[in-house]
A and B are shown apart, each in its own frame.
Chain A
C-alpha cells in the first residue's frame, strides 16, 4: 500500500463536523492511523464524522472495528458517524454486518454535510 492510501484527508465542515476521505482502503494496515487521526479531531472539538467512501475498494473487519471505536468515542458526546458515497465493496460489508442500522448513509458528501447540525 502506498503512503497516499495510508493517510486520510480531513475537511473541516464546521467547528464540530469533519469529513474524512477514507481513500482506497480502511483495513488492518491503516486502521490504527485512522483511529489516531480521528482521535486528534475529537480532541480538537469534532463530534460529527462524515466518512467519504467514494474511492474505497477495501473495508475489512479491522477497519470496521476502528469505525466502531470512533462511534463509541463520539456517541456519549451526542456526536454522529455517517457514511457518504458508499462504494459497492463497502456496501457489501455494511449489508453483511447490518451496520446501516447504526451509521446513516448518504448518497453524497454534500447530502451528508447538509444533514449535520
Chain B
C-alpha cells in the first residue's frame, strides 16, 4: 500500500466519493497485515466525521471547494492528512473546552469527539493562504472509547 491522495471539489458527492476510495482500498491485496478491518473502519469513521463537518459547516467563501485526503501507512498506524481551502474552524479551542460528551443520549456534538477518541496525534493547522490541514493517526493498537453518559 502506497501513499494515496484524492482531491474532491463537489460537497454534494464528497462523502460518497471518499467512501468509494476506501472501498477500493479495502479490496487492495497489498494492504499491510496490521491494517485490520477494525482499524480501517475507524479510519473511515474519522475521515467521514471531518468531511461531514466540512460539508455542513465550512465557509469556502466564493472559492470552489478544494479538499484533499491523503492516507499513508506509517510505522504505528495509518496517517491521514485532510487539507481544505475553507476559512477554517477553532477546532483546538473547541476540543480544549469540550473534552467529553456532557449530555445523556446526545443528539449533536459527538462528531469531533469521535474523531479525537479514535485517533492519535490529532492536529489542526492554519497553513495560511486560506488552507487548513487536519492530521491524525489511526493505530491498530487502540481500543478507543468515547464516554457518553447513559
Residues of A within 8 A of B (CB): 1, 27-29, 57-58, 60-62, 64-66, 68-69, 71-72, 88-89, 92-93, 96-99, 101-102
Give the residue of B15, B110, B147 whose beta carbon is less than 8 angstroms from that of A61. Answer: B110
A-side contacts of B118, CB under 8 Å: 96
Q: Which of B39-47, B86-94, B124-132 contacts A (4 or more CB under 8 A)?
A: B39-47
A88 touching B41 by the CB < 8 A rule?
A: yes
Q: Shortest distance in angstroms between B83's beta carbon and chain A's nearest beta carbon?
A: 21
In angstroms, Cα B41 to Cα A69, docked, is: 24
A58 touches B114 (CB 8 A): no
**Nearest CB in chain B: distance from A31 CB, A:** 9
B49 interface residue per 8 A CB criterion: yes
Stretch among B1-9, B68-76, B101-109 lining the A interface: B101-109
**B144:A65 contact, CB within 8 angstroms:** no
Interface status of B148 (Cβ within 8 A of chain A) = yes
Residues of B at the A interface (CB closer than 8 Å) are 15-16, 19, 37-38, 41-42, 44-45, 48-49, 52, 55-56, 105-108, 110-111, 114, 117-118, 144-148, 150
Q: Are A60 and B49 interface neighbours, CB within 8 A?
A: yes
Q: A72 to B103, alpha carbons, bound, how many Å?
A: 12
On whether the beta carbons of B52 and A1 are closer than 8 Å, the reply is: no
In Å, the complex CA distance between A64 and B44 comes to 16
Nearest residue in A to B53 (C-beta to C-beta)?
A28
Residues of A near B19 (CB, < 8 A) are: 57-58
Q: Are A60 and B16 also in contact (CB < 8 A) when A65-B110, A92-B38, A96-B114 are? A: no
Point out the residues of chain A lying under 8 angstroms from B48, CB to CB.
27, 58, 60
Per the bound structure, the CA–CA distance linking A22 and B88 in Å amounts to 33
A88 partner residues in chain B, CB cutoff 8 A:
37-38, 41
List of A residues within 8 angstroms of B117 by Cβ: 96
Q: Could you tell me if A89 and B44 are in contact, using CB atoms closer than 8 angstroms?
A: yes
CB of B115, distance to nearest CB on chain A (Å): 9
Shortest Cβ gap from A19 to chain B (Å): 22
Given contacts A92-B38, A92-B41, 20 further A-B contacts (CB under 8 A): A27-B15, A27-B48, A27-B52, A28-B55, A28-B56, A29-B15, A60-B48, A60-B49, A60-B52, A61-B49, A64-B110, A65-B106, A68-B106, A89-B41, A89-B44, A93-B45, A96-B42, A96-B118, A97-B110, A98-B147
